[in-house]
Amino acid sequence: MSINSGLPHDRAESVELLKRVAKRLKTQGPEQPLSVYQDEIAKEFGYPNWSVMHKNVAAMAQHQFALFKERVEAHPEVQAILFASPRFLAAAKVEMEEWVRANYTPLIEFAFYDNESENGFSLPSEDINNLLQEEFDHRFPFDLIESVAAELELEGPWGDEDYWLGGDEPPPEADAAEG
């Protein structure tokens, strides 16, 4: 990947991804200069041409660039490039796993055993696959999300440690302290 000079690394990566899309389009279409395909892509992002887009990306405030980068990564042709990259797939898996671990915990680590419950614990389990789909379906392919969920489910059922906060029933520890 040739990184665009004059742009910070993160911005250069986004522009380079769009340039790779333009190169792919060029191989599929008539023999026109690459600039024609670059201009087509710039127009998809609301710019009159590639040069204006490039200059605008360089001058964007960080929060504007974050939105631009999100749009770039959501572009179907960019996703095809990214999902073919083992580095991107590994980073996506790590991001999803970290999100789950930051928001949920295996029930075995904090819930009491309950032989009469469906999941074997005193608290309900969360459907990790559905939670990951809701959080990441706009960014990652279904199969990747499903495989991450399956790997995490091997650790057993997952739950929300804050389940009782705001629920109708007090936590079991509160019942024991009152009695």
How far is it, in rounded angstroms, from Cα 23 to Cα 52? 19
Q: Within 13 Å of residue 99, how many CA atoms lie on the same side as its CB?
A: 17
Q: Within 13 Å of residue 136, how many CA atoms lie on the same side as its CB?
A: 23
Spell out the domain ranges in the chain: 1-84, 86-179
Sole residue written with tokens 């360089």:
58
pLDDT at site 10: 86
pLDDT tens column, 72-121? 988 989 988 888 889 888 999 999 999 999 999 999 999 999 999 999 99
Contact yes or no for 130/80 (Cβ under 8 A): no
